[in-house]
Amino acid sequence: MPFRVAFLGGGITAAVAGALMAITVAFAHAEPAMVSPGSGAIVLAAPAEVVILMSQDMARREGANDIDVFDAAGTEVTTLTAVIDNGDRSRLSVLLPAAMPPGVYTVRWKTL
């Protein structure tokens, strides 16, 4: 499930924002089993990456799996494409920019 990350003062609060993308439940579609930062998490610095562990392995097809992070104005802040881990095809992650200013960030993901 996509989630919203809010930078508050010296910390970050991550909370479930609800479905930002329509998800069709089908046997061929992986669903999130864990997200990091997780729902309600408070951290003192911006995370280095966003990680989503899916309920099953994902297919490696160009453009089929991605994580995008947007600031409060709707501007995308991710500059890299999300990657499926070579050792665990259920793990999708994207590195975040080193210097993210305090603010509200929304994470959107898609998988096949």
Q: Could you tell me the domains of the chain?
A: 3-110 (2.60.40.1220)
Provide the pLDDT for residue 41: 66
Q: Alpha-carbon distance 65 to 53, whole Å?
A: 12
Answer yes or no: pTM beyond 0.75.
no
- For the chain, helix, strand, coil in percent to 5 are 0, 40, 60
Provide the pLDDT for residue 79: 94
Provide the pLDDT for residue 57: 92
Provide the pLDDT for residue 9: 28
Residues 4 and 38 sit within 8 Å (Cβ to Cβ): no
Provide the pLDDT for residue 95: 96
Provide the pLDDT for residue 29: 65
Q: 5: buried, middle or exposed (CB in 10 Å: 19+, 13-18, 0-12)?
A: buried
| pLDDT one-digit tens code per residue, 16-30 | 333 333 333 444 567
Q: Which residues of the chain have pLDDT under 50?
A: 1-4, 6-27
Which residues make Cβ contacts (< 8 Å) with residue 105, sequence separation at least 6? 4, 5, 6, 7, 69, 70, 71, 72, 77
User: Dihedrals φ, ψ of 62, to 5°?
Assistant: -55, 125
